[in-house]
Structure 1
Amino acid sequence: MSKAQVTREHIIQQAAVVFNQQGYAGTSMSDIMQATGLKKGGIYNHFKSKDDLAVAAFDFSVGLVQTHYTEALRGQRHAIVRLRTMVAAFCSLMANPPTVKGGCPILNTAIESDDTHPTLRRQARQAMDNWQRLLAKIITLGIKHQQVDASTDPEAVATVIISTLEGGLMMTQLYGAPDHLRHAQQHLLDYIETLKI
C-alpha cells in the first residue's frame, strides 16, 4: 500500500469514529483535523469535500459490521442457529465495538440524514437493505431445508429482528443502561425459537 493510500485509510478510520459519535452535522473539519492529526489541506488532498469523506467513513463503518457478521456466521448451517448468531453478533458488536464507537452506524446515519443529506441516506438505505436481505435469505433457506416453519414470512421476521435490535440499542444509548439491549436480545432469542418446525 502506498503512503497516500495509508494516509487515506487513516483519515477514513479516524473520521468514521468522529462521524459516528457526533453525526455529520455535528462534525466540523476541525474535529477531523484533530482526530487525524492532519491539516485541512492534507485531508482535502484525499477527499473532495466533507460529504465525500462522510460517505467513505460510513462505508468503512458498515464494512466493519458486515465483517463481524460474516465471521460470526462462519460454520453455522442451521437457520435458527444463524438467526440467533446474528442477534448475538449485533449485541456483542454494539457492547464492545472493535473500532467505531457510538452505536450502529446505519441507525445513526439513517436518523441524521433523513432529509438533510440524500447521499448518506441512500448509503444507509442500501446498508439496511443488505441486512434485511441477509436475514430474509437465512429464513428462506431455513424454510427450504425444513428448519423454519413454512408459514413464516421472511421479510416480516427480518423487520422484527432489525427493529427490535435497533430500538433496544437506541434505548440503551439514550439511558446509558445496557438492560434495554439485553431485554431486546432475550425477546428475539425467544421469538426465534417460535419459528422452528
Structure 2
Amino acid sequence: MSKAERTRQFIIEQTAPIFNKLGYAGTSMSDLTAATGLTKGAIYGNFENKEEVALAAFDYNLGLVQEGLRAGLHGGATVREQLLAMPRFYREAYPHFCQQGGCPILNAAIETDDAPPTALRQRVQASLARWHRHVARLIEQGQQTGEIRPAAEAGRYATLFIALTEGGIMVAKATGDPAALYTSLAHIEQLIETELASS
C-alpha cells in the first residue's frame, strides 16, 4: 500500500464513525479535520469533495457489518444455521453498533429517504437489495436441500427479516432500550424454526 493509499485509508477509518454518528449532511469539514488531525487541504488532496469522503465512509461502515455477518454465515453447516446467524450477529453486535452511531444502512436510509436521489441513497438501496437477494437465495437453497419448506416465499421472508432487523434497531436506538431489537430478532428466529424449517 502506497503512502497516498495509507493516508486515504486513515481518513476513511477516522471519519467513518463521525459520519455514522453525526449524519452525512451534518458532518462538517471541521469535524473531519478534528477526527483526522489533517488539514482540509490534506483531506481534499485524497478526496475530490466531502461527498466522496462520505461515500467511502459509508462503504467502510457497511463493510464492517458485512464482515461480521459473513463470519457467522460461513460458520453455519446448514441453511438453518446460516439463517440463524443473522439474528445472532445483530444481537451480539448491537452494543458495538451503539458505540459507532448505529447501523450504517439505517442511518443513511433515514437521512436520505426524503432527499432527491443521491449517490448515498443509491448505495443504501443497492445494499438493501443485495441483502434481500442473499437471504432469499439462502432460503431457496434450503428449499433445494429439503431444509426449508417448499411453499415458503423466499422474497417475502427476506423482506420480513430485513424489516424486523432494521425496525428493531431503529426503535432500540430511539428509546435507548435494546428490548425492541431483541424481540424482533427472537421473532426472526421463531419464523425460521416454525415457518421455514421442514419438520
Q: TM-score, normalised by structure 2?
A: 0.94
Q: Give the equivalent residue in structure 1 for 2:181.
A: 181
**Is the contact between residue 74 and residue 82 of structure 2 (CA under 8 Å) also seen in structure 1?**
no
Q: TM-score, normalised by structure 1?
A: 0.95
Matched residues, percent identical? 39
RMSD: 1.5
Q: Give the equivalent residue in structure 2 for 1:55.
A: 55
Deviation string 1:88-124 (CA, Å, 9 cap, x unpaired) is: 11232222249x7111111111111222451100001
Q: Give the equivalent residue in structure 1 for 2:148.
A: 148
What is the deviation of 1:171? 0.7
> In structure 2, the residue corresponding to 1:96 is in which secondary structure?
helix
> What is the one-letter code of the residue matched to 2:169?
L
Q: Give the equivalent residue in structure 2 for 1:196.
A: 197
Deviation string 1:17-54 (CA, Å, 9 cap, x unpaired) is: 01111101110010011111111001000000011111
Mapped partners of 2:36, 2:80: distance in 1: 42
Q: Give the equivalent residue in structure 1 for 2:109.
A: 110
Deviation string 1:114-146 (CA, Å, 9 cap, x unpaired) is: 224511000011111111111111100000000
> In structure 1, the residue corresponding to 2:197 is in which secondary structure?
coil
Deviation string 1:150-184 (CA, Å, 9 cap, x unpaired) is: 00111100100010011110011001111111111
Mapped partners of 2:84, 2:57: distance in 1: 29
**Is the contact between residue 73 and residue 83 of structure 2 (CA under 8 Å) also seen in structure 1?**
no
> In structure 1, the residue corresponding to 2:76 is in which secondary structure?
coil
**Is the contact between residue 73 and residue 82 of structure 2 (CA under 8 Å) also seen in structure 1?**
yes
Q: Give the equivalent residue in structure 2 for 1:74.
A: 74
How many residues were matched structurally? 196
**Is the contact between residue 97 and residue 103 of structure 2 (CA under 8 Å) also seen in structure 1?**
no
Where in structure 2 are there 5+ consecutive unaligned residues?
A: none
Where in structure 1 are there 5+ consecutive unaligned residues?
A: none
Following superposition of structure 1 onto structure 2, how do residues 132-171 of structure 1 map, counting pairs within 5 Å?
132-171=132-171
> What is the one-letter code of the residue matched to 1:188?
I
> What is the one-letter code of the residue matched to 1:133?
R
> What is the one-letter code of the residue matched to 2:100?
K
> What is the one-letter code of the residue matched to 1:107?
L
- Provide closer, same or farther for how the CA distance between residues 116 and 10 of structure 1 changes in structure 2, counting only shifts above 3 A: farther
Mapped partners of 1:96, 1:120: distance in 2: 23
Where in structure 1 do 4 or more consecutive aligned residues deviate above 6 Å?
A: none
Q: Give the equivalent residue in structure 2 for 1:84.
A: 84
Mapped partners of 1:97, 1:112: distance in 2: 17
> What is the one-letter code of the residue matched to 2:10?
H
Deviation string 1:46-77 (CA, Å, 9 cap, x unpaired) is: 00001111111111111111111111112313
